Structure 1
Amino acid sequence: MSQATPAGFRVVAVEDYAAARPALRAVREAVFVREQNVPLELELDAERDPQCQHVLAFDADGEPIGTGRLTPDRRIGRMAVLAAWRGRGVGEALLQALVARARALGWREVSLHSQASAIGFYARQGFLPFGPRFEEAGGIEHLAMYRLLGAANPVDGRDAAAAALTGLLAQARRALWIYSRELDPGLLDRADALAALRRFAVDGGQVRVLLHDPAAPQRALAPLIGLSQRLPTAFEFRAVEETVDQNDPAAYCINDREGWYYRPLGHRFDGETRLDDGPRARQLRARFEPVWERARPCTEFRALGI
């Protein structure tokens, strides 16, 4: 498998480990050993490495610039991109190639140990955290993350909820639909969520928000209201008033790329999420739209002076 990209690099699945070993070593030693000070003997992993499936990214001149691997225990690891190529889509392309390979193998789940600084990167690709943070590879803080393939991912607690929202916002292109009780304190007021929503809006995205209780976020000076006032053409809020709508206990968010995050009890973070489930996303849209049509506009949000 070779996947070319318009960004001046290509991703290749390694067929011959022995032949690819110098390229793998070149990238991993540059990133892990020289940059992050991981001991060489820890990085080499000479026993397991030949048993893994690897991908490599090459620049236009054929020089290796990134790599990653799938281990026999269904874990993604050794994700590394040379410093000069970070922020240009190499890591995303490598991760997507590894997930595609896991799907092709019939795996139902993949996991990984993310460095603390990379949690957001993996969350944007649908991975959710579980368990406490721990140290690995010479004292670097890590967090375990996982993604179910071809199934909804359970969301358990605030950290997983934040990751689910991160993935949903990152994958959205032009539209988001949010059904919330009172703008979800602890989730929609997080700095990373607000930054992602701002980028989405500035890039031309449209956000529709249905609320059960608009007075509560108004009293709390919810930062999303302030953001909407600065970008009024991108955000629209409505309040549900019909009894049948007020009795709906759920909360959910949908994007226009087949992604969704659903919570059966809107006052809790627990629920399910998936980034590639068109039928369920369309079902939730069909649930959202009639409620939106009969809800009232939250004109009081536009009048706030915050």
Structure 2
Amino acid sequence: MNDARVELVSWSATPALRDIRQRVFVDEQHVPPSLEWDEHDLSAVHFQLLVNEQPAGTARLLRDGHIGRVAILPDYRGLGLGNLLMREVMRHAQELGHRHLELSAQTHAQRFYERLGFIRCSEPYMDAGIAHIDMRWSADTQSQAELPPIEFVSPGSFSIHNPEQQAKRYSTHLPYQLGEQRDLIEIDEEHALAHACHLVLQARRRLTISSPEQAMWLFHRRDFIDCCEQFIATHPKGSIRVLVNQVTADFTQGHSLSSLQHRFPSLCEIRKRHPDLAREPQVYLLADDSGILMFPQALQPQGFVRYNSPDQVRRWQASFDEHWSRSLSDQGLRRFTL
């Protein structure tokens, strides 16, 4: 359908997500509210399906690659919209570096997910009074179907000229300059990527990132990594320092900050916070001596960015440096680098 699209949205700022799940799971399928609503909604990546700009469906993606809460309103079923929604979720998951995806499917939907490449991996079980099965998708098992043979007759020799094509690099067009505007700009999931990339592309000396594994929906994005690569290419004497609380399997997969350390070990270094030091609830990015992007609570994707706030940057840089001085190298990261 040409009038249907899927967008990334914030859970707290998009009440339609809750309305759809209430109608489909609680009202229609009689799932107990105590089972429908959980703490994962605050940290998950949420998707909204729109038809003629009207909310029609939703799904969510957890940090571990689990897809859930896939729901389409009754008036929009049977139109292929579930396939559109799922393919966008899967595309975004792969962009984040996930090579394995899992979901718990209602048994009647098994064929639907099989057509998307998922494989059944459990016996039926009951969940919220509904029969389910576990299903798994792996990028390693996906292959293109073989094309049928075609007849071909060579036209003879001819010259071919293939001009070199360079991959298009991410660029931003925000009207803010690092070191100039002092305004505090509120951001959420929808706007965070553009501002984070804008800061990175304007930095010249130093990028400091704290606790990115708690906001992989932002720092694991291919566009953000591309901007870090541009920073490294443009400023070979610059540095990227990343401090994590823990090294998860997802953090070391795909096009990630870990891959930057692997390819540019002298410019990008990732270390683990010392376990004796209290974890900071914040997630932040510092650019040079003036730019800051901050999420005060890691699990709540609402924060702010300032392009000229040297006092704040100085304070958070000092806190980061203190933790960095006692940080540890992690065995998982060392194995990845080797």
TM-score normalised by the chain length of structure 2 = 0.45
Larger Rg: 2
Greater strand share, structure number: 1
Q: Considering Cα pairs closer than 8 Å and 6+ residues apart, tell me whether 1 or 2 has the greater RCO.
A: 2
Q: Could you state the TM-score of these two structures normalised by the residue count of structure 1?
A: 0.49
